[in-house]
Structure 1
Amino acid sequence: MPQVACSQCNQNIDSNHVTCPQCQAIQGLEALSGIDPNIRIKNQKFAIWFGFLFGGLGLHKFYLGQHLKGSLYLVFSWTLVPMVMGWVDSVRTMKMSSFNFEQRYSKRAM
């Protein structure tokens, strides 16, 4: 069995161990990344482009998980008001910091 060094105590352990037997530290890239795999992260640039290009259909709202608002944009798309609102939403999203964007739109998967 190939052995690797523990990321915390540098003891040699088998590469298929999930935790170190000595210090109980979790091994592997998942432990070092600090990212919860159950959180769905949204891309701010995609949301901006979806709002500019397809704001009249509410695609940016569907992408951000706001299905009711997206449906309203879609229902009233014939009035062209949702297109203007999509552009306004895009500008607002563009001005929003990436931290605030992630706090608002990145949700835990159920």
Structure 2
Amino acid sequence: MSRLTCPHCNHSTLDHLALCQHCKTALHLEALAGVDPHVRVRSQYLAQRYSMILGTFGVHKFYLGEPLRGSLYLAFSWTLVPTVLGIIDSIKMAKMDSEQFEQRWCAHS
């Protein structure tokens, strides 16, 4: 895979990504003219925080475009199971690099 340099922060990033991995600046916007408008850009940091703080209620699942799983977290929020699962999800997201996160949750929704 080829890489390009971000004009804003001068860090090297993969050329197929729409955002710089370091500073989140939009890259080569002229190439985005034909991109599907339903592509969602989600923040890994925000998803991780939602998971850690509001994971009991499944807020992070709704944010990541998984309403069925979010509803299950919400339905069982009176138990400790969604709380534990939210913490586990938060740890998984913390260990995940930005490319993996974008491939998994920033695709078509």
Structure 2 length as normaliser, TM-score? 0.67
Match of 1:66 in 2: 66
Identity of aligned residues (%): 43
Q: What is the Cα deviation at residue 84 of structure 1?
A: 1.0
Q: What is the DSSP-based 3-state SS (H/G/I as helix, E as strand, rest coil) of the residue aligned with 2:35?
A: coil
Deviation per CA, 1:5-56, whole angstroms, max 9, x where unpaired? Answer: xxxxxxxxxxxxxxxxxxxxxxxx7316689362111100000000010000
Q: What is the Cα deviation at residue 80 of structure 1?
A: 1.7
Given the superposition, is the C-alpha separation of residues 35 and 58 from structure 1 closer, same or farther in structure 2, using an over 3 Å criterion?
farther
- Unmatched runs of 5 consecutive residues or more in structure 2: 1-27
Q: Distance in 1 between matches of 2:35 and 2:91?
A: 29
Q: What is the Cα deviation at residue 91 of structure 1?
A: 0.3
Match of 1:30 in 2: 29
**2:30 aligned partner, one-letter code:** A
**2:63 aligned partner, one-letter code:** Y
Q: Distance in 1 between matches of 2:71 and 2:32?
A: 36
Q: What is the DSSP-based 3-state SS (H/G/I as helix, E as strand, rest coil) of the residue aligned with 1:65?
A: coil
Given the superposition, is the C-alpha separation of residues 88 and 34 from structure 1 closer, same or farther in structure 2, using an over 3 Å criterion?
farther
* Alignment size in residue pairs: 81
Aligned CA RMSD, in angstroms, stands at 2.0
Runs of 4+ in 1 over 2 A off after TM superposition: 32-37
Given the superposition, is the C-alpha separation of residues 35 and 64 from structure 1 closer, same or farther in structure 2, using an over 3 Å criterion?
farther
Given the superposition, is the C-alpha separation of residues 48 and 108 from structure 1 closer, same or farther in structure 2, using an over 3 Å criterion?
same
Which protein has the larger Cα radius of gyration, Structure 1 or Structure 2? 1
